[in-house]
Structure 1
Amino acid sequence: MTTPDPDSLLAEQLLRFTRRMHRIQKRQIERAGLGVTPAQSRLLRTLAHYDAPPRMADLAERLEVVPRAVTTLVDGLEASGKVRRVPDPTNRRVIRIELTEDGHKAVRAVFAARRAAAEEVLAPLTDEQRTVLGGLLDALVDGVPEPAGRC
């Protein structure tokens, strides 16, 4: 058996890290007793970033999923009272999705669960290591090489 190249090893580490983060975040959300799935929590977090209620198509684009997937998520969140469908004031054929008061509470709990998950995952790192990791992740996410001397 051949030894994997360093890039393949890093890719595997990143995948394992992502899976671990998702598992811990899911556990934290379950502890909060919100009764939402990880996908629903992602939709709630996304809704929180809009100034005005978005259309389903806007949510699908932002989440990078097909519109039908958003419909299913919204159906579940609407049934639990966390979101509601409202008509667009300028075009009655367009439906927008807005958070209810319970939805706003759920968003706060989801963000708290994410913070708790991050604290748990990052606990072994010093503040300096966290700063370096943040810079490296920014470079990877943005596709921009790290400035010389940063690491």
Structure 2
Amino acid sequence: MTAPDADGLLAEQLLQLTRRVHRIQKRHLLQCGLDITPAQSRLLRTLAHYDAPPRMADLAERLEVVPRAVTTLVDGLEGSGRVRRVPDPTNRRVIRIEVTDEGRKALQELHHARRSAAEEILAPLSDGQREVLGRLLDTLIDGAPGAEQRC
């Protein structure tokens, strides 16, 4: 039996780290008493980047999901009082989604949980190692041109 190739090993390590980040974030969120799914968290964070309340279709496009998935997420967040549906002032057939005060509070708690999780994960690294990791992650995030189109 041959050892896995280096790229395959790195890919597996990245997936393991991602899962660890999610587990630690979830633990921090539970400690804060914030009952929110990762998908709801992502939607809420996405909403925070809009200057004006977006349409559901805008959110689906930004999140790269089908509109039905956004409806389900909004339903859950609306049920917890974190977002609300509001009519578009120029077209009453269009519904927009806005963050409530409770949603802004949840965003602050999410930010704290994410920061705490990052601190926990990065604790074993020196400042120099963190700097190198940051540069490497920037390179991976930026990606190679056309890399997403490969099979």
| TM-score of the two chains, using structure 1 as the length reference | 0.92
Residue of structure 2 in register with 1:142 after alignment: 142
* Deviation per residue, 1:35-92 (Å, 9 max, x gap): 2111111111111111111111111111111111110010011011110000111111
Equivalent residues, number: 145
Query: Which amino acid counterpart does residue 119 of structure 1 have in structure 2?
Result: E
Distance 1:38 1:116 in 2: 16
Task: Indicate the RMSD between aligned Cα atoms, in angstroms.
Answer: 1.2
Distance 1:25 1:34 in 2: 11
Distance 1:58 1:126 in 2: 41
Residue of structure 2 in register with 1:70 after alignment: 70
- Where 2:98 maps in the other structure, the secondary structure is strand
- Where 1:120 maps in the other structure, the secondary structure is helix
Gaps of 5+ in 2: 146-151
Give yes or no for the alignment of 1:113 onto 2:128: no
Residue of structure 2 in register with 1:149 after alignment: none
Query: By how many angstroms is 1:144 displaced?
Result: 4.5
- Where 2:33 maps in the other structure, the secondary structure is coil
Distance 2:39 2:30 in 1: 13
Moved over 6 A (4+): none
Residue of structure 1 in register with 2:20 after alignment: 20
Residue of structure 2 in register with 1:5 after alignment: 5
Map 1:40-79 onto structure 2 (within 5 A): 40-79=40-79
Query: By how many angstroms is 1:15 displaced?
Result: 0.6
Residue of structure 1 in register with 2:128 after alignment: 128
Identity across matched positions, percent: 77
**CA distance 1:144–1:126, shift in 2 (3 Å):** farther
* Deviation per residue, 1:1-32 (Å, 9 max, x gap): 11111111111111111110011111111111
